[in-house]
């Protein structure tokens, strides 16, 4: 709703059509692509909340993998020129169902690129400041309520990027990508979440630990203490943009990948976390389960 309004206001002379569809509905997605035949597809739909997906693993598989397959297959079938999938640094050496589901989606996109006329690329994001469900709006609400501000762990740190940086990275990836790459923005040094909390409290006119208490709540299921940007075996490819790195690795054997995905789809309706993890471990050897790094 808000995106449509903003686009209409910003680009009054451009025809804009907002269409509501469920990306797991293969037939309806195909109808949209058949009717409009988009040339550039930016796939940003995903379940992204780590602890919530640990308790609803089947939904992560359905939305993040099946949904990606439906969108990317339609882009391939109806001749899109470029396809950009939004992924996450949580897909690197994943410890969560959410991160694993995005890693499998990355693998599928890379595999599809080897046989398609469409240029399929992936963009790995860090945390986007101010985005829906991100830490800054949550901290601001807690500060406005008088505290406490909750931080999971004193050593928890994350890479951050702004919304304009994230948007530009997506567009740059579409123009730089030849197909099969995973693009990562140089986000500088990771930031400790507790330091971010203290800064926000101070900027709000309060004193950390005096006016507003900071409480450590403990790491939640699937969470890491710190994120990584690349997987062992990924080779860095230089780009013409000084702030953007491209990574590429050898796609997993197609038969193994698709057989594993089929098993995930078969078991996902049961929401059986342990069985889903067994299949994930076969597809993603670097998956280490619910063992936060540094613990």
- For 204, residues 6+ apart whose C-beta sits below 8 A from its C-beta are 140, 143, 144, 212
Which phi and psi angles does 11 have, rounded to 5°?
Answer: -125, 70
- Look up 90 and say whether it is catalytic: yes
Q: What whole-number distance in Å separates Cα of residue 62 and Cα of residue 240? A: 36
* Catalytic residue from among 90, 192, 252, 278: 90
Query: Vertex 53, ends 93 and 149: CA angle to 5°?
Result: 90
Instruction: Name residue, tokens 């062992």.
Output: 232
Both tokens of 123, joined, read 């963009």
Please name which of 145, 105, 111, 100 lies closest in space to residue 123, comparing C-alpha atoms: 105
List, by residue number, the catalytic residues: 90
């Amino acid at each position: 709703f808000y995106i449509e309004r903003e686009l209409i206001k910003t680009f009054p002379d451009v025809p804009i059509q907002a269409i509501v569809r469920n990306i797991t509905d293969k037939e309806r997605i195909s109808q949209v692509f058949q009717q409009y035949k988009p040339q550039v597809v930016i796939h940003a739909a995903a379940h992204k909340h780590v602890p919530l997906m640990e308790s609803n693993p089947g939904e992560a598989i359905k939305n993040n993998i099946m949904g990606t397959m439906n969108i990317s297959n339609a882009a391939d079938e109806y001749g899109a020129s470029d396809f950009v999938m939004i992924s996450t640094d949580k897909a690197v050496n994943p410890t969560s169902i959410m991160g694993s589901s995005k890693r499998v989606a990355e693998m599928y996109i890379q595999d599809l690129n080897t046989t398609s006329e469409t240029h399929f690329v992936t963009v790995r994001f860090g945390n986007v400041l101010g985005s829906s469900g991100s830490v800054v709006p949550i901290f601001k609400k807690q500060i406005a309520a008088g505290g406490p501000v909750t931080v999971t762990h004193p050593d928890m740190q994350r890479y951050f990027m702004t919304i304009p940086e994230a948007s530009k990275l997506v567009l740059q990836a579409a123009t730089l990508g030849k197909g099969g790459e995973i693009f990562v923005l140089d986000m500088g040094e990771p930031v400790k979440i507790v330091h971010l909390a203290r800064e926000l409290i101070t900027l709000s006119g309060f004193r950390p630990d005096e006016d507003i208490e900071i409480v450590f709540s403990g790491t939640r299921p699937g969470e890491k203490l710190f994120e990584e940007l690349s997987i062992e075996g990924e080779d860095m490819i230089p780009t013409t943009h000084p702030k953007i790195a491209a990574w590429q690795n050898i796609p997993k054997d197609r038969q193994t990948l698709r057989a594993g995905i089929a098993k995930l789809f078969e078991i996902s309706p049961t929401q059986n976390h342990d069985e889903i993890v067994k299949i994930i471990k076969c597809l993603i050897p670097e998956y280490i389960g619910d063992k936060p790094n540094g613990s």
